Amino acid sequence: MTTALVAAVTVVAALLTLAGLASTAARRRIGLVHLALAGVLEALLVAQAVLALVRLAGDRELPETATFLGYLAGALLLPVAGVLFARGETTRWAGTVLAVPAAAVSVMVWRLLQLWEAGRG
């Protein structure tokens, strides 16, 4: 868990949110750009989760481990669920359907960082 990684996640998640809203505004369905951004976002989240779990298995101690793990798992789930749900949508609203979980991820990672920095070790 580093600020740089969280910032990177936020940027990609924000781009995905904008791409989703843009496709709705343009009355188009989601395309390769959305899938690629969602893929990059998920890869960053997996990297973040692996780093955090390795440190937690080591000497890192958090005051609220359960809450942290909840946010970590939730953030991992959202882009995947968003893509699956948006791909089933045949109207221009598919992009907005994907933008919702992307925006949620961009908020959740900062809460994750907050929980992480409250820890020691």
Partner 1 sequence: MAEPAGGGPRPAEGLGRVLVAVYAVFALAAGARAAVQLSTRFSEAPVAYLLSALAAVVYVVATVGLARGGRAGRRTALVACAVELTGVLVVGVLSLADRAAFPDETVWSGFGQGYGYVPLVLPVLGLLYLRAQGRPPRATA
User: What distance in Å separates the CA atoms of residue 118 and residue 85, rounded to the nearest whole number?
Assistant: 35
Nearest-Å Rg of the Cα atoms of the chain is 15
The residue from 17, 42, 82, 106 that contacts partner 1 (CB under 8 A) is 82
The residue from 2, 3, 91, 114 that contacts partner 1 (CB under 8 A) is 91
The residue from 96, 106, 109, 116 that contacts partner 1 (CB under 8 A) is 96
Q: 26: burial class by Cβ within 10 Å (0-12, 13-18, 19+)?
A: exposed
Of the candidate spans 27-35, 39-47, 49-57, 83-91, the one that interacts with partner 1 by CB under 8 A turns out to be 83-91
CA dihedral 27, 79, 31, 40 (to 10 degrees): 140
**Mask for 47-76, x = binds partner 1 (CB under 8 A):** -----------------x-xx--xx-xx--
Q: What type of residue is 85?
A: F
User: What distance in Å separates the CA atoms of residue 95 and residue 14, rounded to the nearest whole number?
Assistant: 13
Binding site for partner 1 (CB under 8 A): 64, 66-67, 70-71, 73-74, 77-78, 81-82, 85, 89-91, 93-94, 96-97, 100-101, 104
